[in-house]
Amino acid sequence: MSDRKICVGAIAGAFGVRGEVRLKSFCAEPSDIAAYGPLTTEDGGRSFSVTITRPVKNGFAARLGGVGSKEEADALKGVQLYADRDALPDLPDDEFYHSDLIGLTVLDTGGSELGQVINVLNHGASDLLEIRSPALSDTVLLPFTMAVVPTVDLEKGRIIADPPEGVFDDE
């Protein structure tokens, strides 16, 4: 699992004229983003040490190693930052990193395969699993709640789901 990366934040642009960036943290404890470094770009092509200088609206002002000017900071706008999966804290048994769920096979409570998790979405209320089923023409969104998804077995690479009736019917 050490070769897996987790997106922990994004650069929202330059902050000031001395090379600081506006940093958005996706961590449960936002200021922890600086502790998981060095952070890399998605392709691993660049690596940055992170020093948070102060909180700002919707994130932090931060210094990134190797970024010394406003122009360099501006050029990084929109870049997502990744940490090694092993650098992140272990989670309680009932919590999961989204990236750990993607790719898992989804089975119903009778053991029949429903599909595979291709994305985890959150639009404010709760997480939704986006599932691609070979039997359906479109993907299915399944609420990621204990009632609908009673079992997540990362070791076996599967999820047991009890979807509401009609969710996996092709219309």
- How many whole angstroms separate alpha carbon 98 and alpha carbon 103? 10
- Cis peptide preceding 38, ω within 30 of 0: yes
- How many whole angstroms separate alpha carbon 156 and alpha carbon 171? 31
Domains, the chain, ordered by start:
5-87 (2.40.30.60), 98-161 (2.30.30.240)
Asked if 123 and 144 count as a contact pair (C-beta separation under 8 A), the reply is no
Average pLDDT, the chain: 89
pLDDT at 1: 37
Asked whether residue 3 carries a pLDDT value surpassing 70, the answer given is no
Asked if 163 and 114 count as a contact pair (C-beta separation under 8 A), the reply is yes
Asked whether residue 88 carries a pLDDT value surpassing 90, the answer given is no
Q: Residue 51 corresponds to which tokens in the numbers above?
A: 């020093």
pLDDT at 99: 84
Alpha helices in the chain (DSSP H): 70-75, 98-101
pLDDT tens digits along 98-144: 888 999 999 999 999 999 999 998 877 788 999 999 888 889 999 99
